[in-house]
Chains A and B, each alone.
Chain A
């Protein structure tokens, strides 16, 4: 089974701090995603990456950046954390395409709950 590992389950940061959220997957998936999850809003896409060194803005990229230097690792960066970025952050990876039962299915990490004070 694909495993997606998020390095921190819980973080508490102060306003203005730089925050790194790390995500690693072990199945050589091309696509990786960062979502934030907020009550009543479901999952909103922050950034995604088709492949190494490629990135695309999602629906709510403001205040975030990403890095994908290696295929297995996709990092989310909050350059200057703000209280409205307090949320649950979910990383996911996917093998794209239409062939086979596993194609186009997201595999999620357990999430990183960030609190910004």
Chain B
């Protein structure tokens, strides 16, 4: 079945550092890919998405490019802030499976120190 593998956490960085959180997937169809973020004490919210190969999703300074050849959707940010501290989830939705369920990675906890 479909699956998502994320970089193991937790990740701790200093403010203004560069961030990459790796995400790779396996899917039988042509999935849409998502990054969701969960701030402390809150539910998940969509950060960005890409629906086809070579699409780049971006939001709040974060970017991720849908790479079909490497089955990856790595999350990047050039200069992180303390307010970016959260848990990040990579996910896919494979319409080819019919059920349109989202499959999530295990999450990566990010802590940014001032």
Contact = CB atoms under 8 A, between A and B. Distances in A.
B43 A42 contact: no
Q: How large is the interface on B (under 10, 10 to 19, 20 to 34, 35 or more residues)?
A: 20 to 34
Interface of A: 4, 31, 33, 35, 40-43, 45, 48, 56, 58, 90, 92, 96, 98, 104-111
A58 to B, nearest CB: 7
Contacts, number: 51
A105 B49 CA distance: 9
A40 B106 CA distance: 6
Contact of A42 (B51, B99, B100, B104): B104
Contacts of A108: 36, 43-45
Closest 9 CB pairs of A and B: A108-B43, A42-B106, A43-B104, A108-B44, A42-B104, A110-B43, A42-B107, A109-B43, A111-B43
